[in-house]
Structure 1
């Protein structure tokens, strides 16, 4: 079996990965304490901050499709640079915010940059590498981002402990600077694709939505992305408020997940190399279903150490499911898309994350408030349907998307 090309043979890969690392390092400074960060750096009440961030997130929903059209009209590299510039300006402006309108404006700029980043980065990576090399580059990007995100969290804690309230302003400025550095790395990666060929206006998103196998893939992906929201959204409420676990456990579980994702991405990708991407995704879904079951079973364990260890075991299984799903999901979406419409295809694929970010907080809270087993049952059933759908789609999606050439 031929060996997948290494990223050292992919022109522009090293500066691209360096930019991803610096970007994630900056994000790690503020993402774990987003609302607190914004409250402290602006001085606004928490209720005002929460409403402003929600409104900004709704604005960000429109960024994915707009970014997709811009990628196809111009090129992914230019749009990706634009997302860095927007976020650099946004974080540099946070310390100047003094009211609700200014908060919504600045947070919306950041949200637009955040949401547009994902289709742009995926599209540019698809230009840099092809086939099995693309899968490897996706895995390396995920590894670099997870390592940097974890380091950013540690630096954030250090900044707050050393500088107190001033530390939040320092975090804002350092994060803005990180996006400037990431832009420089992207410029060094070189221009590896010009503008795609012009195409009739009637194609665009109408053609994407007419691709029924791809739309089916996106529908299945929505179940996976909702499951990925377990750790950041569902688990804090479930573990502490429902099961009475100690609050410090959340930090342990988050760190455990981050470290294992960073360490396991490449080994899992190598293990998956001979498998169909659809089958690899379905296996990841099956493992996530087991994780949902284990989270539910944790409620039946005695309070104290048994329940804590039950949550740890469930999180380990959840992390494995995450690892199995992530790289094949990105790769199959990129390989399904025609080159001239890749931006739009990946924008629709990434919109599942935007929808999950809006739906999960209210939906998960409602299910946990009604009856906690409902959450795990709902997620398990939706994942089961998604796995079956992905397996059926393996015969309808392009052959080169289902199995990477040379893998």
Structure 2
């Protein structure tokens, strides 16, 4: 029997287009977030930094709220709301002229960003099941990485051509990207989801699910390592290894290109593997990446260290590729349909916590002794990989090993 195609699933094409446009808009401003806000609002950099930090903490509450709304109203509606919310916030960014206004706008964007992840995961779960769900996650990861890279290039072009005015243009372009993504979902003609029984357990049932909480704890270790490249590596590479700052852009570009190009081949390679086992293997690869980064400090300065950083980043990228799709699909398949929004909200909260903990935690470890950072990350992800192997018997069988199309 021929494998069903994703293109035969109602609503997939407009959803993917919306995802691509959304990521393109994010790529416009994320690499220059603080500078972008400073230039658009004219506020001092210290004020901008404080506002963004406070907004990020406020955004932590958006995940659990989104989970409740998803289970009550449908993931697609919540996803559209996150797009509309961020479109409105970016549209008024050029009008911000004080700390309170900055805090309100930045908090709305942070809330939309945090709520987006459980909403998009819930919508994917409603669109596809089993192996098709894994394929859809793979296509999303590929499309978003390509679009994010293109958005970064487009942002650089706009700013270089239009100067300070270019930042205001970027804000409006980003608002337009979110509005277009919302329109794609509104016009998707998506089939109505099968009704699911209301479950009065709510978050109490989620927190009573010990195998799932073990999965969340394991995922927390992985999310911290995913933040090595944007958070830890710039400090480690420049202040500890003494490499040129320009190399960081090259390493980031290599990672982005390989993640975009490698998702489909890695997905084909993993299609017969248990999701828990694929994630455990990625943990071993990420441990090897930590060892490679630590060993780079032992190499002579100059080209040997540059080569060591390149090798370590390639290993890290491979580990990320091995982890991403099985992680998303396993969490979605583990959750009972009536509480999928809440389950995915708790699972995605690991990224919100990592974003709060990583900057200060990584900096403290690097200041104390750089080797401690890599030992700590390896010590976290190693037990997480072992826990995933043990979870294979405790999670739903069709979540661990999905039926093949």
TM-score, with normalisation over the residues of structure 1?
A: 0.98
Separation of aligned partners in 1, 2:321 and 2:3: 19
Give 1:96's aligned residue. 95
- The structural deviation recorded for 1:12 is 1.1
4+ residue segments displaced more than 6 Å: none
**Aligned equivalents of 1:135, 1:397: Cα separation in 2:** 17
Q: Is the 8 A contact 2:90 2:171 kept in 1?
A: yes
How far off its partner does 1:11 sit?
Answer: 1.5
Alignment partners' CA distance in 2, 1:173 and 1:280: 41
Contact 1:75 1:193 in 2 (8 A): no
d(CA) in 1 for partners of 2:329 and 2:191? 19
Asked if residue 403 in structure 1 is aligned to residue 396 in structure 2, the reply is: no
- Correspondence 1:182 to 2:178: no
Aligned: 1:224 with 2:222: yes
- The aligned counterpart of 1:389 is 387
Superposition deviation, residue 4 in structure 1 = 4.9
Specify which of 240, 247, 257 is matched with residue 245 of structure 2.
247
Q: Which digits, 9 at most, give the CA deviation of each residue in 1:17-44, with x for residues without a partner? A: 1000000000000000100000110001
* Distance (whole Å) between structure 2 residues aligned to residue 99 and residue 158 of structure 1: 28
Distance 1:4 1:119 in 2: 28
How far did residue 195 of structure 1 move?
Answer: 8.1
**Distance in 2, Cα, partners of 1:101 & 1:288:** 41
2:110 and 2:317 mapped to 1: Cα distance? 26
- C-alpha distance in structure 2 between counterparts of 1:80 and 1:266, whole Å: 25
Q: C-alpha displacement at 1:256, in angstroms?
A: 0.3
Aligned pairs (5 A) from 1:18-37: 18-37=17-36
Q: Which position in structure 2 is the counterpart of 1:336?
A: 334
The 1:92–1:146 alpha-carbon spacing in structure 2 relative to 1, beyond 3 Å, is same
**Partner Cα distance (2:240, 2:135) in 1:** 40
CA shift, 1:406, in A, is: 1.3
Contact 1:10/1:128 (8 A) holds in 2: yes
Matched residue, 1:62: 61
Deviation (angstroms), 1:196: 4.7
Matched with 1:149 is: 148
Report if the CA contact (8 A) 2:196-2:337 is conserved: no
CA distance, structure 2, for counterparts of residue 193 and residue 232 of structure 1? 39
| Secondary structure in structure 1 of the residue aligned to 2:120 | helix
Work out whether residues 291 and 314 of structure 1, in 8 Å CA contact, stay in contact via their aligned partners in 2. Answer: yes
Residue-by-residue CA offset, 1:118-164 (whole Å, 9 max, x unaligned) = 00000001110000000000000000000000000000100011000
Superposition pairs for residues 290-301 of structure 1, below 5 Å? 290-301=288-299
Residue 9 (structure 1) shift: 1.9
Matches within 5 A, 1:7-46: 7-46=6-45
**How does 1:233-312 map onto structure 2 within 5 Å?**
233-312=231-310
Distance across 1 between alignment mates of 2:13 and 2:137: 13
Task: State whether residues 4 and 133 of structure 1, in contact with CA within 8 Å, keep that contact through their aligned partners in structure 2.
Answer: no
- How many residues are treated as equivalent by the alignment? 405
TM-fit CA distance, 1:194: 4.5
Q: Match for residue 162 of structure 2?
A: 163
> Secondary structure in 1 aligned to 2:189?
coil
Cross-structure match for 1:51: 50
Matched residues in 1 for 2:194 and 2:63: separation?
A: 19
In structure 1, C-alpha distance between the alignment counterparts of 2:245 and 2:206, rounded to whole Å: 44
Find the aligned partners of 1:189 and 1:18 in 2 and give their Cα distance.
10
Give the conservation status (yes or no) of the 8 Å contact 2:199–2:338: no
- The answer (yes or no) to whether the contact 2:159–2:167 under 8 Å persists in 1 is yes
Other structure's SS at 1:199 match: coil
Q: Which residue of 2 aligns with 1:373?
A: 371
CA contact (8 A) 1:75 1:195 kept: no
